[in-house]
A and B are shown apart, each in its own frame.
Chain A
Amino acid sequence: MTSTTATPASATATAAASTSADAIISVRDLTVAFGSRRVLDGLNLNVARGEILGFVGASGAGKSVLMRTIIGLVPKVSGTIEVFGTDLDGGDKARRDVERRWGILFQHGALFSSLSVRQNIQFPVREYLKVSERLLDEITMAKLTMVGLKPEVADRYPSELSGGMIKRVALARALALDPEIVFLDEPTSGLDPIGAGDFDELVRTLQRTLGLTVFMVTHDLDSLHTACDRIAVLGNGKIIAQGTMADMLASQHPWLREYFHGKRARAVIG
């Protein structure tokens, strides 16, 4: 998976992602353990600029752990993680510069419960940019419109929002600083099929308009099918397969066959 040969510039995104040359996120030989239990064991993964990567695996296989390790919430035992070509172990300053360029949507939104929607979205902007209140409000409205929410939502509090709205606001907050990468942890879980479909569409649109790179942990076969350019599968602490939906469907790996050819999968993919 990590061939060291340079890729020709004309290669497709899929092919390019298999080398570290054009990768926006590059994870090499990553090992993460809790006590004596190894959750990730020598994992290698590259994410190409501008792609939507769907990340699947059985519950408890460590999908969220990988995401949390990349963003620095879980300490790793060994291995290197490079984002934008910067090694994240390279000191606090380098790390903060990188952090400013990514946005994270947590599984349950993680909105600040004592701040209104407007304040939630403005929070990172206020911290990093010295702009006028007027521009702050305008950008808030722009983000809310982009994620498909009405401007009236701005002055509500997280406890007054529905599950789908929380996800949308959390996405707006993740996008507040116009990041280059967004990490989405199960963005469509807990949404109704129409809401989930809208959300997939939204992620696609944003990726097109903003040129985002999206790292999406998901269980939603619809999302994988409609939103993702590429899919990576986690098993036994390693990436057991990666490629397009067609590659996944063609795979003979028993777990993949069960996942992509199970009863639910047939209903979606046919």
Chain B
Amino acid sequence: MSGPTLEQIAKGDGLALCAAGSWTARFAPALEKLVGEAEKLTGSRPNIFIDVSQVSKLDTFGAWLIERLRRALTNGGHEAQIAGLSANYATLVDEVRRVKPAVAPPAAGSHLTAVLDGIGRNIYGIGETLVALVDMIGAVIAAWFRVWRHPSKFRLTSVVHHLQQVCWNAVPIVVLITFLIGCIVAQQGLFHFRRFGADVFVVDMLGVLVLRELGVLLVAIMVAGRSGSAYTAELGSMKMREEIDALRTMGFDAIEVLILPRMVALVLALPILAFLGAMAALYGGGLVAWLYGGVDPSSFLSRLREAISINHFIVGMVKAPVMAMVIGIVACVEGLAVQGSAESLGQHTTSSVVKGIFFVIVMDGVFAIFFATIGI
């Protein structure tokens, strides 16, 4: 296949532009250059023939560039004509003749307006997020009461299925991570307390920290990353494929069918996981205290009994279902906000996890203030 050429031949008061070779997409960069140079042609000759009889192969790219050349020359005050078209290429050139000048993509505003625009939208977006969250809380509570009055509407199978996903399948990783965190906290505690000869106080620290704060917070963050993201992706892809619209048209309430079972499963799962996590962390801490700090198990247990009261455990456990609700609500709101594109699904899944973790930590702070005020 030979490359394209465009030769200029003077003919009396006219000029012939002889195109030859292969005018196809393959040679598009070269073609563009040829045509660009020919477009600048401003001779005194009024008549210009674009002779394409020597063109061996023509496709849309070539046909368009010939047409573009003709338009440019005509606009430049020349009498431009395309000559030597074979029958099947003539239809192609006719086809591209219908093309109107390109519409440029919408221009972006100036940099400053773009920044201000972004800030404005984000602030507006925060308000919208809060409204959506409150809306979802209301819808879930309403659905809960509807189901309460008609227990036959409760989707037990669905709850059990989600419980397996978010609770049972999460046990190994949750237990492993909390066990390791327990080990690390105990090791660090021992390292610093040893300087004061207060080795045994590591048990106090571990017990209070794990039962009150660390156990539940850590597990909640893991659940937000593991199950919150899954909820958002599931609901989001259902939204994208119009499955949620299909449910609505069949007279089902998406909140009742999809969201309530997920919320119930999460609210049941998080306390269980938090409990298992706390136990694993204490076990890990105890192991390190024994092997690394020389605190044997029986003295670890008796010290633990003195150091913590049932209140510490209750404070930790009370937080778990509330955090589960926060994670679930955020995940479902984000899932239902997914638009048509794959990118949107990714964005909302990310923001589900980020917002979920953020609200979990905010809730933890609120609880800390509350319990401090009532003196537990």
Binary contact track B44-88/A, C-beta < 8 Å → 1, others 0? 000000000000000111001100100000000000000000001
Could you say which of B60, B68, B92, B342 contacts A143, with CB atoms under 8 Å apart?
A: B60
| Contacts known (A139-B60, A141-B103, A146-B60); A113 close to B32, Cβ less than 8 A | no
B102 touches A178 (CB 8 A): no
CB of A192 within 8 Å of the partner chain? no
A137 touches B341 (CB 8 A): no
List A residues 74-123 near B (Cβ within 8 Å). Answer: 112-114, 116, 118
CB of B91 within 8 Å of the partner chain? yes
Binary contact track A208-226/B, C-beta < 8 Å → 1, others 0? 1111000000000000000
Stretch at the interface among B21-29, B297-305, B311-319: B21-29
Q: What residue in chain A is nearest B36 (Cβ atoms)?
A: A132
Cβ of A140: which chain B residues have Cβ within 8 Å of it?
Answer: 102
A139 touches B61 (CB 8 A): yes
A138 touches B340 (CB 8 A): no
- Closest CB of chain A to B346's CB: distance in Å? 9
CB of A13 within 8 Å of the partner chain? no
Tell me the total A-B contact number using a CB cutoff of 8 A.
90
**In the complex, A158→B341 CA distance in Å?**
8
| Contacts known (A157-B341, A209-B91); A145 close to B98, Cβ less than 8 A | yes
**In the complex, A56→B60 CA distance in Å?**
30
**In the complex, A177→B24 CA distance in Å?**
9
List A residues 137-155 near B (Cβ within 8 Å). Answer: 137-143, 145-146, 151-152, 154-155
CB of B129 within 8 Å of the partner chain? no
B32 touches A178 (CB 8 A): no
**In the complex, A178→B64 CA distance in Å?**
12
| Contacts known (A113-B342, A159-B340, A159-B341); A178 close to B95, Cβ less than 8 A | no
- Closest CB of chain A to B306's CB: distance in Å? 59
Q: What residue in chain A is nearest B67 (Cβ atoms)?
A: A142
**In the complex, A95→B106 CA distance in Å?**
38
Cβ of B60: which chain A residues have Cβ within 8 Å of it?
Answer: 139, 142-143, 146, 175, 178, 210
CB of A263 within 8 Å of the partner chain? no
Binary contact track B321-343/A, C-beta < 8 Å → 1, others 0? 00000000000000000011111
A178 touches B61 (CB 8 A): yes
- Closest CB of chain A to B59's CB: distance in Å? 4
**In the complex, A93→B291 CA distance in Å?**
61
Cβ of B92: which chain A residues have Cβ within 8 Å of it?
Answer: 209-210
CB of A131 within 8 Å of the partner chain? yes
CB of A130 within 8 Å of the partner chain? yes
Cβ of B344: which chain A residues have Cβ within 8 Å of it?
Answer: 113-114
B343 touches A141 (CB 8 A): no
**In the complex, A208→B90 CA distance in Å?**
11
**In the complex, A175→B64 CA distance in Å?**
14
Could you say which of A131, A134, A158, A160 contacts B102, with CB atoms under 8 Å apart?
A: A134
Could you say which of A134, A141, A155, A157 contacts B106, with CB atoms under 8 Å apart?
A: A155
Q: What residue in chain B is nearest A161 (Cβ atoms)?
A: B340
Q: What residue in chain A is nearest B68 (Cβ atoms)?
A: A138
CB of B99 within 8 Å of the partner chain? yes
- Closest CB of chain A to B186's CB: distance in Å? 47
Cβ of A125: which chain B residues have Cβ within 8 Å of it?
Answer: 25
Binary contact track A164-188/B, C-beta < 8 Å → 1, others 0? 0000000000010110000000000
| Contacts known (A114-B342, A118-B105, A178-B25); A138 close to B88, Cβ less than 8 A | no
Q: What residue in chain B is nearest A112 (Cβ atoms)?
A: B342
Cβ of A152: which chain B residues have Cβ within 8 Å of it?
Answer: 103
- Closest CB of chain B to A127's CB: distance in Å? 12
Could you say which of A114, A142, A151, A177 contacts B343, with CB atoms under 8 Å apart?
A: A114
Cβ of A157: which chain B residues have Cβ within 8 Å of it?
Answer: 340-341
B103 touches A142 (CB 8 A): no
- Closest CB of chain A to B156's CB: distance in Å? 36
A-B contact list, 27 entries, CB within 8 Å: A113-B342, A113-B343, A113-B344, A114-B343, A114-B344, A125-B25, A129-B29, A130-B29, A132-B32, A137-B102, A137-B103, A137-B105, A138-B99, A142-B96, A142-B99, A151-B102, A155-B103, A155-B105, A157-B340, A158-B340, A159-B340, A178-B24, A178-B59, A205-B91, A208-B88, A209-B91, A209-B95
Query: What 5 A-B pairs are tightest by C-beta distance, nearest first?
Result: A159-B340, A114-B343, A113-B341, A178-B59, A137-B102
Q: A130-B29, A138-B99 are known; give 12 further A-B pairs, CB within 8 A.
A: A113-B342, A131-B28, A134-B102, A135-B32, A137-B105, A138-B64, A141-B101, A142-B96, A154-B105, A157-B340, A158-B341, A178-B60
A interface, CB within 8 angstroms of B? 112-114, 116, 118, 125, 129-132, 134-135, 137-143, 145-146, 151-152, 154-155, 157-160, 175, 177-178, 205, 208-211
